[in-house]
Amino acid sequence: MPAERLQKIISAAGVASRRKAEELITAGRVQVNGQLVTELGAKADPQQDHIRVDGKLLHAPERFTYIALNKPKGYVTTTNDPEHRPTVMDLVKSVKGRVYPVGRLDWASEGLLLLTNDGELANALMRAASHVPKTYVVKVAGTPDETKLEKLRHGVSIAEKGGRRVRTAPAQIKLIREGDNPWLEVTIIEGRNRQVRKMFEEVGHHVEKIRRVQYGPLSLDVPPGEFRSLSLEEVAKLKVAASGTKPAGKKNASARGHFRSQAEKPNHKGHKGSRRI
């Protein structure tokens, strides 16, 4: 088998994402045939070389696991929280093998979250260049007029960590329930930290509730706190989405129908294949 970059081998084995694997290497936690390796360009043959991470021998790649979780409010999207708050990992304890979240939803956000041990796919999905669409239903304080919505559709400047300002990519925004505090459907192709919240703050409206209902080809279809495994077809579609290729066929269902089922029919008892912890 031809030699491959070390971080790719570690990621493919399900130990960590590609980015985390790079951190493990530079931190001096990886050995190849007994020799410490700290350069990211290093390569190895997973069939011939003995690769150890934190002293543990790397075995053949694990069978990949793909989980769609409906994250409730009050959980942080991390594998370990120094403040000892509930994490999304508490909701998937019954999953065999180690998985980790792809991207994140903040503590107050709800909805669809993908977890996997497929580091290659996770890395591809999290790259901004993949432009995988993510759809949210959002309740905001006050009614934004059409001028403000057009600003959001065309992109606004938001602050990132450290104060640097960036312009968001164009977004799709539709009103799905009128009221003093309306609900809107928002689709973005980026995944910046708290992006949707910051976008609405820029036009003077606080986000009161936010729920992710679609991630690429996946739609939210399990009750809060529950999860299900993805089908082989769904995994294949995710890989196509991550590659940036537009698949032929029907578009994903609108979040409007999902909003009705979630907001007006909150009980999801008896969903086949879902799990509650």
**At 109, which CATH number?**
3.30.2350.10
Residue 59's pLDDT band, with cuts at 50, 70 and 90, is confident
Q: Is 54 annotated in the active site?
A: no
- Under DSSP, is residue 116 helix (H, G, I), strand (E, B) or coil? strand
Among residues 25, 42, 57, which one ends one of the domains? 57
What tokens appear for 115 in the block?
A: 């977890």
What does the alpha-carbon distance between residue 168 and residue 15 come to, in Å, rounded to a whole number? 33
The number of angstroms, rounded, from the C-alpha of 99 to the middle of its chain's C-alpha atoms is 13
112 and 42 both lie in a single domain: no
| Domain-ending residue, one of 13, 38, 57 | 57
Q: 113-143, pLDDT tens digit by residue?
A: 999 999 889 999 988 656 899 999 999 999 9
- In tens, the pLDDT along 77-111 reads 999 899 999 999 999 999 988 899 998 899 999 99
Residue 31 belongs to what domain range?
4-57
Domain count, the chain: 2
Q: Provide the CATH number for the domain around residue 17.
A: 3.10.290.10
- Catalytic pick among 54, 106, 145, 180: 106
Q: Could you tell me if 167 and 155 are in contact, meaning their C-beta atoms sit under 8 angstroms apart?
A: yes
Q: What is the pTM (predicted TM-score) of this model?
A: 0.71
Same domain for 244 and 107: yes
- 200 class by beta-carbon count within 10 Å (0-12 exposed, 13-18 middle, 19+ buried): buried
Comparing 30 with 63, the larger pLDDT belongs to: 30
Residues 68 and 188 in one domain: yes
Look up residue 132 and give its DSSP letter. Answer: -
